[in-house]
Amino acid sequence: MMLPRRGFLAAAGLAGLFAALPRAFAAALGYPRALQGPMLGAPGPHHLSVWVRASGAFEVELEVATDREFRHVVQTASAVASPEEDCCLVLRAEGLQPDTGYWYRLKYDGEGDRFQFLPHRARTAPAGDAAFRVAFGSCCRIQYDPQQRIWNTVRALEPDMFLWLGDNIYADSDQPAALTDLYGRGRVVPALEPLLRSVPQLATWDDHDFGYNDSDGRSPFKSASLRVFRRFWANPSYGERDNPGVYFRQHYGGVDFFVLDGRYHRDPTDKPDDARKTMLGAKQKAWLKRGLKASTAPFKVLAIGGGWSSAENEKGGDSWAVYMTERNELFDFIRDEGIGGVVCISGDSHMGELNCIPWSQRGGYDIYDFCSSPLAQMPAAKHTRQVPEVRVRDVWTRTVNVGLMRFDLTGDVPTLTYTLHDDLGEAVWEPLVLTPDDLKNGARTWDAKSDPGELRRLERFRRGGGYYGFDPPEGWPDAPHYRE
C-alpha cells in the first residue's frame, strides 16, 4: 500500500528529524535506572542493606565509600533484578565499621542513574550500647494525603531507625497488582524520599496492607500479599522457615525490637475470647517467648499494628482488646519469667495514645503502650466511647502524628524517653521517661507517671460516672461544687 504524497513527506520529515537528534538523547531511551528507591533496610554494625526497584531486568551494583567523591570505595555488592520480583531487590554491603558514616550509590547495568546524580549518606548501627532515636507511625494513605508533610517533621527529629506499624498502604484488595501500585506510589512521595535514603526502614503490616479491612488468617490471598510485602521491604527476616509471616527481631544500640505479625495467623475477632483464640498463632507466640526469655537488653520493645490496651473492646474492634486472653498470657509470662524492660508500641487507632496496663496489680510491673496514628489519614475521635486500663496522657486527635523513642544506654542508668509529635514537630505531651527499675516486677509507676487530669477521669469512671465530661480548670473557686 502506498502512502499519500502528504503522508509520505511527513514520514520522511520525521525520519530526518530523528536521524539528526544528538546521540546523547538517543542513548537515554530505555535508560536503566531506579523506578523507586533507594531505601535503607535492616541495619547492622557491619553492613548496610539497600532496597531498590529497578526499571528492568539487569544487574544493579551497590558501591559504598568513605568519601562522597568515591575515591575510596570500601565495599560493593551486586544482584540481577528479575521480572518475577517486580525488579525489586536488596543489596547488602558487608565488612563495614560500626557506627560509621558512609556514602553509597547504585549503578544500573554498569551506569549511574541519570535522575539521581548525587550519592546518599548512611550510617551503620552501633556495635554496643548507645544513645539513639527510633521513630514510628502507622496509617499512611496516599489517596488521602499525597504530600504527607509529616515526613518533614520525622526528618527533623533525626531518627536512627523508622518503624512502620501497619496500614502502610490502603490497598483493601486481594490483587497483587493493586498492592504493588500503591507501594510504588508511596515510595516517590517527595517529602519521604530523603528519609528512605538515609534512615533504615523496617515494617510490619495491618489489615489494609494485608488484605481487606479487618481481614484475618482465613484470607485465601495472604500468601500472595506476603510475597508482595517481601518484595517492597528490607526487613532482617520474615517469620520462620516453618511459619510464614512478617515478624522478626532487630537489635539496635543495646535494645531488642520484636516486630510482630498480627494478621497472618489471626483468628476471627468474633471468636469467643478464650485460650483457643489467637492473634499471633502458636509458633509465633512461642518464638516471641523464646526471644524475650533469651534477651539481656535493658529494654525490649514489642511492636504490632493494633493497640495493646483494653480501649478498643467494642463492636468492630480488632486490637488486643478482643484478644485479651492471649495478651494476658503474654504479660503473665513476662511476669513469671522475671523478664524486665518490656514496653509496647502500636498504631491503627487514628489517634495518638499513651496508655498503660497496670500489671503491678498482678505481681508484675506496669506495661506501657505508645500508639502513633495516623501518618497520612483522617484523625478520629473514637476515644470518647473507649476506656483503656489507664490513660497516661490525653489522646491526641488534632493532627497527624509520629512517635519518637529516645534511648540512652551510655550512662549509669539506661533511659527511654517517649514523645509524640504533631505535623509541625511540636511535642503534644510532656515526655514519659522510663528506666529499667520502672520495668521490673514489683514496680508500680502508672499513677506517678500519669497526668493528674487523667487520674481524675479514671477515678470518676471507677465511681460509676462517664470517663469523659467537664473537668473545671485548676484554680476555679467553685470547682468542688461542680457535679456531672
Give span(s): CATH 3.60.21.70, the chain: 128-462
Q: Per the structure block, which three cell numbers stand in for 271?
A: 471468636
Q: Per the structure block, which three cell numbers stand in for 276?
A: 483457643
Q: Per the structure block, which three cell numbers stand in for 77?
A: 555488592
Residue 19 pLDDT: 44
Q: Would residue 60 be called left, alpha or beta, if left means φ above 0 and alpha means ψ between -120 and 50 degrees?
A: beta
Cβ atoms of 53 and 37 within 8 Å: the answer is yes
If one counts every other C-beta atom within 10 angstroms of the C-beta of residue 223, the result is: 10
- Options 3.60.21.10, 2.40.128.20, 3.40.50.720, 3.60.21.70; which CATH number does 128-462 get? 3.60.21.70
Cβ atoms of 355 and 343 within 8 Å: the answer is no
Tell me the CATH number for domain 34-122: 2.60.40.380
Q: Would residue 253 be called left, alpha or beta, if left means φ above 0 and alpha means ψ between -120 and 50 degrees?
A: left
Residue 464 pLDDT: 85
Give span(s): CATH 2.60.40.380, the chain: 34-122
**Angle at 258 (CA atoms; ends 253, 261), nearest 5 degrees:** 150
Report the SS3 class of residue 323.
Answer: coil
Cα atoms in the 13 Å half-sphere on the side-chain side of 335: 20
Cβ atoms of 437 and 443 within 8 Å: the answer is yes
- The pTM (predicted TM-score) of the whole model is 0.91
Q: 300-303 and 342-346: which strand pairing?
A: parallel
Q: Per the structure block, which three cell numbers stand in for 448?
A: 506517678
Give the separation between CA 242 and CA 250, rounded to whole angstroms: 20
N residues, the chain: 484
Mean model confidence pLDDT for the chain: 92
- Low-confidence residues of the chain, pLDDT below 50? 1-28, 478-484
Give the separation between CA 307 and CA 288, rounded to whole angstroms: 18
Burial 67-105, CB ≥16 within 10 A → b, else e: eeeeeeebbebeeebeeebbbbbbbbbeebeeeeebbbb
Strands (DSSP E) along 333-436, which ranges? 342-346, 352-358, 366-371, 390-396, 401-408, 415-422, 432-434
Q: 34-40 and 415-422: which strand pairing?
A: unpaired
Quick one: angle between helices 324-336 and 282-294, nearest 10?
20
Q: What are the pLDDT digits (tens) for 7-61?
A: 434 444 444 444 444 434 334 357 999 999 999 999 999 999 999 999 999 999 9
Q: Which of 62, 69, 64, 76 has its CA nearest to residue 102? A: 64
Burial of 6 (0-12, 13-18, 19+ CB in 10 A): exposed
